[in-house]
Structure 1
């Protein structure tokens, strides 16, 4: 761990020395005009923060407030039951806080949550103004950065002390923040540069860059197509100190023998991708822009960078040459010219493209060195503020002379149909007239469509397929289908594409007939004969044998018939005998019943005859 930190320090020292020897860092400023009290009236300089949303091209009027508690703004003001939200019809509040103890962004975030319209940070020592930047990339708690929307400015210690004194004396301090001259507008075209990096594993800043490119590309392409702007992408690299050229760190982070380097994405110099992979991809993106620009379509850079971030992320192990070239081909850009432009990254010589990038990084005239990543340079002035579509568009539009702004600066209702050319590099099914290309103001997106209630799923670039119920009604679900001799077979099922019974294949492009006879999966019985048909088979038996498909067997037709009739005669005679036997039993039971009834009747009269005979004997009548 210690070795890694030492190496990183060495790299940063080399970068700082390089910058100090050749260029300078310029703090971008706007003006702050105090209109009251009279003792402070005048115009003062302040440094624009590199976060929030500066109102480029405009002004903002407010009343300055200085808190009695939490004066450094490092805690939420709701903890002190303080609110700076302006009342209807009232002036906005500009919250003045002291520098120190926490990040500049934390102060701005707490001020915004308390209702302030802007935040002024008073320096805590007498020094030239600096640029307030965002925290380091590894600060996991800085997820609020992209939600800061109020402008921020750093003011000098002496000016801050004067404002505090006036407020403590009970004076109302009214100020006007002015960004109208923060960006020059020398002609009717705005020239701007975007200094970026293809690394997508550097934390919040990388995420911010990727999201900005995705959101801004529609407006950027409109401006470029109509000739309102001239855009140029740039990539920051540095060289490896000569004493470390043979080190493991140099070899993993640099190309062309240490001349052009980028940080290792994981900063471990062993796992995942290396810094040299980033440099090569940076070089590829520069060359793609050059080739696209030569063909009159410089705006294709925005499509490539957006698509590469989506299709070839480091997290999916797709940050490769192969994936990059697939994206290039989908956009119809000359791959051969791009490779020629890139040259040999293993050569011990300067690369003309990357050398020009390093030279451009050095400040000239009113523009300082580019040392903050990412950086947007508009009309040779470095943009300050967060990378947000609306904020950046406002800044670019501030670069036009007043009343000469293009329509996109006044409205977001302009759209250009990017799907008309090469289908936007997206998936399409020409036969069914279905496409994944969708045109929006933000630029075209490749998104699988919904057709007649059927949703298509896929990456939108290389494939889309119908899913769910009803999918087979749309172009047969993208599955194989064929008719032969009056029969039609389809591989489309609700779950996907699956060859029907009797066929084999992927179910999408082809399904081939299975020869069940050749593969001996049918007609296996002794004496069976097999004949293959398209999608099925037929079995038969020789001589007088009959084939029974359910049992895969052959049986004799003649014996089978005789046995059948004999069986019927047996049943017939059996029924006759059973009937006769039942009748005999019935007669026997009837007769027995009648006999028992007669005896019962006679038994009733026999006792009377016997009693009468006895009476005659008793009376001597016999």
Structure 2
């Protein structure tokens, strides 16, 4: 009786959140494009399995099978195929709800060739999220192999589609996930609600496999600041009426405040629920300490290593084993112990209290009640817990054109620039293109290559501009090399035009033709000249051993040239001699006379000179001496 009571308490822990909490169905838009009577946008609930095309759209035509309308059996038994033919639209298979699990319906539809599955509800009611069944109720192998997206639609919409199909009308629709996740800026915030327990069946195995496979991508995104990640752990409180029971004591810490179900659902063996709570707390504290040290991505290493080194199945799910992993990653054990605190104390634990508060949904997000759960930009992720599928969803959370390179890897994104260059401009010779692939599709923008900016509309033309433009495919201008000589029509400055160089004529873009100076008589016009055209120039020579002077376009005798040269030398020498004599004469007859007159004037002040007139004088007597 006690064991039954314990199991009931455990079940209450699992269900109380969903019973009392606010559950929000994540929806995406379903747009019917034909027939006219159904045209419009409808709500549908994304399934919690398969791979929704986050950030994209899927266009298809609806088919309602004539047999196996609930898809609980394989369509091979009825020789039915829904695989689209070449040139045809993908098939959206409409089936009815009931008789088997949603996942089995999706698996049978996928094997039948459907690109997506629409499940029509069997009664008027609010839409719910289609989830995976418990392990004992379904084959875990096929659950991991479902890749087509799935959605639940209302009974009224399902009936309307069936009516149109029965009338012979084609029903076309778009499943649109472009706005399934908010993408407001250049960083994505996401939460991963998980569990350290590895004895909860297929779900524990799949979530641990996800952690190991997603670890590399998560570290890259976090280290480069593209994302802000935080792990979370669900705990429940023990109902007050059962606080003193053995079951609550074995499943809870801090006097019933934080509890987890018994891993084996058997209180008489193995680990207890409180062991799981403590390990969850240790992992939460590890993230807190690692985040404070600036290395939050170490959480992925710790959880991966802990699952390998300390599995519950091998009885290594212990504090000692966990501390060995922590020490190997260089995190301070004392800080983690301080964070964990006293698990026997009758008081709140700061970390676990915050975790319980975070479980409550806010805004468009509902309460977190299911493990594992991903919340991306405050919106719950729906779909398969798979590296490529989750990475695609995270990438859909970036503002358009800001997604990091990891979002454009081949395993999650098709490069639209590979086919017909996305319809954008390109210069194959220079390997330059205006097509740029983004997560949500290509954009045509003239690029910047090696510091050179191309300008244009990106669709029909792009032209290199600015300095150094000739370094990129010669600026789109003509260029040719012959016999070791290269000529270009590109001018390496801020101009954008092309101009043929001297000696050529043409548009400068497609061609520049050599100008035949000899034929055009634009060179070698003297009677004695002989002209020979060359590529981009000309050669001119003279008959009879004459010398050609290119600057004067004339022929002269080499001897005359020599005579003229010596005559010029003698003329210069003679000119210098004449200048010297003239200078001496000027000195002697002009400057010298001027100096003599000045000297005579000075001396006249002190004594009579011969040239002066008679000046009266008085003679003194001897007695005057």
Deviation for aligned residue 1:411: 2.4
- Partners of 2:170 and 2:137 lie apart in 1 by 38
The answer to whether structure 1 residue 275 and structure 2 residue 273 are counterparts is yes
- Partners of 2:214 and 2:380 lie apart in 1 by 18
In the alignment, is the contact (CA less than 8 A) between 2:107 and 2:142 conserved in 1?
A: yes
What SS is found at the alignment partner of 1:147? Answer: coil
Deviation for aligned residue 1:8: 3.5
- Partners of 2:139 and 2:245 lie apart in 1 by 34
What SS is found at the alignment partner of 1:57? Answer: coil
Selected match of 1:122 from 120, 123, 141: 120
The Cα RMSD (Å) is 1.5
User: What TM-score do the two structures reach when normalised by structure 2?
Assistant: 0.64
In the alignment, is the contact (CA less than 8 A) between 1:189 and 1:230 conserved in 2?
A: yes
Check 1:95–1:377 CA distance in 2 against 1; reply closer, same or farther (3 A cut).
Answer: same
Within-5 A mapping of 1:359-508: 359-411=357-409
Within-5 A mapping of 1:231-242: 231-242=229-240
Deviation for aligned residue 1:318: 0.6
Within-5 A mapping of 1:16-55: 16-17=15-16, 21=20, 23-55=21-53
- Partners of 1:365 and 1:256 lie apart in 2 by 31
Deviation digits for residues 199-223 of structure 1, max 9, x if unmatched? 1011110011000000001111101
- Partners of 2:88 and 2:194 lie apart in 1 by 41
Deviation for aligned residue 1:10: 3.8
- Partners of 1:90 and 1:219 lie apart in 2 by 36
Within-5 A mapping of 1:104-119: 104-119=102-117
The answer to whether structure 1 residue 64 and structure 2 residue 36 are counterparts is no
The answer to whether structure 1 residue 322 and structure 2 residue 320 are counterparts is yes
Deviation digits for residues 208-257 of structure 1, max 9, x if unmatched? 10000000011111010000100000000101111111212111111111
Check 1:314–1:166 CA distance in 2 against 1; reply closer, same or farther (3 A cut).
Answer: same
- Partners of 2:17 and 2:153 lie apart in 1 by 29
The answer to whether structure 1 residue 332 and structure 2 residue 314 are counterparts is no
In the alignment, is the contact (CA less than 8 A) between 2:17 and 2:369 conserved in 1?
A: no
Deviation for aligned residue 1:138: 3.2
- Partners of 1:80 and 1:356 lie apart in 2 by 54
In the alignment, is the contact (CA less than 8 A) between 1:137 and 1:202 conserved in 2?
A: no
Selected match of 2:78 from 77, 80, 88: 80
Selected match of 2:175 from 156, 174, 177: 177
In the alignment, is the contact (CA less than 8 A) between 2:117 and 2:148 conserved in 1?
A: yes
Deviation for aligned residue 1:298: 0.1
Deviation digits for residues 319-344 of structure 1, max 9, x if unmatched? 11111111111111111101110001
Find the counterpart in structure 2 of residue 254 from structure 1: 252
In the alignment, is the contact (CA less than 8 A) between 1:138 and 1:203 conserved in 2?
A: no
In the alignment, is the contact (CA less than 8 A) between 1:50 and 1:134 conserved in 2?
A: yes
- Partners of 2:2 and 2:182 lie apart in 1 by 46
- Partners of 2:174 and 2:138 lie apart in 1 by 35
What SS is found at the alignment partner of 1:246? Answer: coil
In the alignment, is the contact (CA less than 8 A) between 2:10 and 2:261 conserved in 1?
A: no
The answer to whether structure 1 residue 8 and structure 2 residue 7 are counterparts is yes
Deviates more, 1:142-151 or 1:210-219: 142-151
- Partners of 1:34 and 1:169 lie apart in 2 by 17
- Partners of 1:162 and 1:294 lie apart in 2 by 56
Structure 1: 5+ residue stretches without partners:
414-622
Selected match of 1:192 from 169, 190, 214: 190
What SS is found at the alignment partner of 2:95? Answer: strand
Deviation digits for residues 463-484 of structure 1, max 9, x if unmatched? xxxxxxxxxxxxxxxxxxxxxx
- Partners of 1:404 and 1:4 lie apart in 2 by 55
Deviation digits for residues 241-294 of structure 1, max 9, x if unmatched? 111112121111111111111111110111111111110000000000000000
Deviation digits for residues 502-539 of structure 1, max 9, x if unmatched? xxxxxxxxxxxxxxxxxxxxxxxxxxxxxxxxxxxxxx
Deviation for aligned residue 1:372: 1.4
Find the counterpart in structure 2 of residue 301 from structure 1: 299
- Partners of 2:15 and 2:267 lie apart in 1 by 22
- Partners of 2:110 and 2:134 lie apart in 1 by 21
Find the counterpart in structure 2 of residue 614 from structure 1: none
Check 1:90–1:131 CA distance in 2 against 1; reply closer, same or farther (3 A cut).
Answer: same
What SS is found at the alignment partner of 2:212? Answer: helix
In the alignment, is the contact (CA less than 8 A) between 2:128 and 2:152 conserved in 1?
A: yes
Count of matched residue pairs: 411
In the alignment, is the contact (CA less than 8 A) between 1:167 and 1:173 conserved in 2?
A: yes
In the alignment, is the contact (CA less than 8 A) between 2:183 and 2:400 conserved in 1?
A: no
Check 1:146–1:5 CA distance in 2 against 1; reply closer, same or farther (3 A cut).
Answer: farther
Find the counterpart in structure 1 of residue 444 from structure 2: none
In the alignment, is the contact (CA less than 8 A) between 2:10 and 2:262 conserved in 1?
A: no
Deviation for aligned residue 1:144: 1.2
Deviation for aligned residue 1:307: 0.5
Check 1:395–1:290 CA distance in 2 against 1; reply closer, same or farther (3 A cut).
Answer: same
- Partners of 1:259 and 1:49 lie apart in 2 by 33
In the alignment, is the contact (CA less than 8 A) between 2:13 and 2:261 conserved in 1?
A: no
User: What TM-score do the two structures reach when normalised by structure 1?
Assistant: 0.65
Deviation digits for residues 120-160 of structure 1, max 9, x if unmatched? 00000100000001101333623311110000000000001
- Partners of 2:122 and 2:6 lie apart in 1 by 33
What SS is found at the alignment partner of 1:96? Answer: strand
Check 1:263–1:407 CA distance in 2 against 1; reply closer, same or farther (3 A cut).
Answer: same
Deviation for aligned residue 1:88: 1.7
Deviation for aligned residue 1:299: 0.1
- Partners of 2:335 and 2:410 lie apart in 1 by 36
Find the counterpart in structure 1 of residue 94 from structure 2: 96
- Partners of 1:352 and 1:192 lie apart in 2 by 22
Structure 2: 5+ residue stretches without partners:
412-625
Deviation for aligned residue 1:186: 1.9
In the alignment, is the contact (CA less than 8 A) between 2:186 and 2:398 conserved in 1?
A: yes
What SS is found at the alignment partner of 2:144? Answer: helix
The answer to whether structure 1 residue 152 and structure 2 residue 150 are counterparts is yes
Deviation for aligned residue 1:170: 1.4
What SS is found at the alignment partner of 2:354? Answer: helix
